[in-house]
Amino acid sequence: MLFGKKTAAEKRAAFREELATGRLLQFPGAHAPIVSLVIEEQGFDGVYISGAALSAELGLPDIGLTTLTEVSQRGRQISRVTDLPALIDIDTGFGEPMSAARSVQEFEELGLAGCHLEDQVNPKRCGHLDNKSIVPVREMTMKLRAASDAKKDDNFLLMARTDARASEGLDAAIDRCKAYIDAGADAIFPEALQGWEEYEKVREEIDVPLLANLTEFGKTPLLTKEELEKLGYNIAIYPVTSLRLSMKAVEDGFAAIKQQGTQKEIVDRMQTRARLYEVIHYEDYNRFDQDIFNFKLEGQGDE
């Protein structure tokens, strides 16, 4: 109730332990706190918090317009309600190396289990769009070194994302990944890989945990869990899936109301009140309230 039962440190430690097993961990995206409750209820391994989804929720494109305050507070809201570890997208770190260091400390203190920092020039672009600009390797490694040194909890996962595949080619992207690991990255997110062979080559060359981004409508094939396990990947994210599902339902539902003048015909497509209360653990809050108001000290009367 209110918060998950596990502390942030416990969630980070559990995340590291699961990563060490080598099995594939599935992290669906949550664009809102209630979604992370469903992710946990359905037995997934963790929660992913997408910068693209948070931008879209604010009615903004994913080009680096969100601030550290907006992203960190929303990240806290989404991660606090679940016992699952939450991995958050911090784009380019909200500034230069010192800003990246501060960002990591903020997210660590707010209870996140890890973050990924990318090597695009700000203002950035969605990872599956063309014409992205990449910062020099030295600039990115300075950010990663600063961010790594800023960690207080060794279990906080610092992941480096490279968008170099689209602009510099796969071999250059792999070289960047190796430099990023040397600079302090605990894991690697190779963005927008374009097929089985590319996934395989990155795994052969990189010996830290790897993340696969299974975003819809992108350049990457939507590989299955079994396929990613065969390839030896460690984390699969489904970053904007919850937002896309919910927004399609909202659009269709409001269109029906506009056309028909009532929602009578679409009530069966809605989550019921009972199911909503089940997801948000309404009865737990009710029991808490009753216990407090029925509480009496020994010898205390009704006055």
116 is catalytic: yes
pLDDT at position 142 over 70: yes
Q: What pLDDT was estimated at residue 2?
A: 78
Q: For this structure, is 171 an active site residue?
A: no
In the residue annotation, 131 being an active-site residue is answered as: no
Query: Is 213 in the active site?
Result: yes
Active-site residue among 12, 40, 45, 62?
62
CATH class of 8-240: alpha beta
> What number is the average pLDDT over the span 176-195?
96
Residue 61: band (very low, low, confident or very high) from pLDDT cuts 50, 70, 90: very high
**pLDDT bucket at 218, cuts 50 / 70 / 90:** confident
Look up 89 and say whether it is catalytic.
yes
- Catalytic annotation present for 128: no
Of 12, 76, 145, 161, which residue is the catalytic one? Answer: 161
Catalytic residue among 12, 16, 40, 89: 89
91 in Cβ contact with 80 (< 8 Å): no
For residue 297, the model assigns a pLDDT of 59
Residues 100-123: pLDDT tens digits?
A: 999 999 999 999 999 999 999 987
Q: Is 83 a catalytic residue?
A: no
Q: Do β-strands 211-213 and 187-190 pair in parallel, antiparallel, or remain unpaired? A: unpaired
Q: What tokens appear for 220 in the block?
A: 């990457």
| Domains in the chain: boundaries | 8-240, 247-293
**Catalytic site residue from 106, 108, 191, 198:** 191
Residue 134 has pLDDT above 90, yes or no: yes
Q: Which of 232, 160, 166, 159 is nearest to 200 (CA)?
A: 232
Select which of 126, 128, 145, 155 is catalytic.
126
pTM of the model: 0.93
pLDDT greater than 80 at residue 173: yes
CA distance 181 to 194: 22
Mean pLDDT of 85-93: 97
List the one residue out of 114, 108, 94 whose CA is nearest residue 45. 114
Tokens encoding 213: 């981004």
From 40, 91, 106, 186, active-site residue: 91
pLDDT at 3 over 70: yes
Whether 180 sits among the annotated catalytic residues: the reply is no
